[in-house]
Amino acid sequence: MKLRPIDDCNSVQALAVLTRGFPEKSESFWAEGLQKILASPSRRDAEPVGFLMAMGGEDVGVVLTIPGERPGPDGARNVFNLAAWYVDEPHRWLAPRMLQKVVAQEAVFTDLTPSLAAQQINPRLGFEILNEGFQVFPLPWTALRARQQARVISIDHAKLPDDIRATLDQHARLGCVVAVLQDGRDYHPLIFSRMTRRHLPGARVILTDSKKLIVDNLAVISRFLLRNGVLFLLMDANRADATAGGSISRWSAPTYVKGATDRSRIDHTYSELIFLG
């Protein structure tokens, strides 16, 4: 088994394996997603965006490792979002070994949409459950809560560091809903990715300084999202995070992390949720 990095030079070979491994998605879907990942500003020094697995000189597997950075106590940390993991059936017995080699480096790894197979393998590779599932907030209902909360303002009126402002601008260009929550003199960036469930328009929390920030200011955030055509909001959560007053809890979509992370915060910027939907 040999692994070789996916970069600008061999993205065509990666596209072939992704299309074969995930036939429910079109080749154009994977081509567009790969191009977005390769062009992402989170990709430092043209670093690889995944790995191809070869046996006997033939590509038989693929995994994306979408690069990014997160703030940490000692400075920025490298973060890699695992996505689109696939190995051809005859070589699938080597799949755990493939992932073991990929996550061996010193960095933080996330798995935001783990398959059932990944959920079984992840704990053996040092991953822990980051969130057990998600909460669903029906926004026409949660918008009716008390109004004594912070204000949602546009990024043009917020005092933000240049890197945060750039992140918001870049995600807006990628189709996300972005805003800033102003609480007195504090400005909290917010990013939501659009989604559709049962033909209803919704959104998922991509960036917030804390889950509590969303819950404490749910009414004003709900009204902001309703004005943007969103009817429900998904937020990563654990059972301990569940709130009353209109939220529906589900625990069937866990997310995983390997390495130190702030569990009260949500940061899925520059991840598969943005590039692959």
Percent of the chain with pLDDT over 70: 94
pLDDT at 247: 60
Q: Which CATH superfamily is domain 2-131 in?
A: Gcn5-related N-acetyltransferase (GNAT) (3.40.630.30)
Total-model pTM: 0.92
Q: Which residue has the higher pLDDT, 69 or 205?
A: 205
Token match 């209109």: residue?
246
What pLDDT, in 10s, does the model give residues 105-129? 889 999 999 999 999 999 999 999 9
Domain boundaries, the chain: 2-131, 134-250
Rg from Cα positions in the chain: 19
Q: What is the pLDDT of residues 44-84, one digit of tens each?
A: 887 899 999 999 999 999 999 999 987 766 667 889 999 99
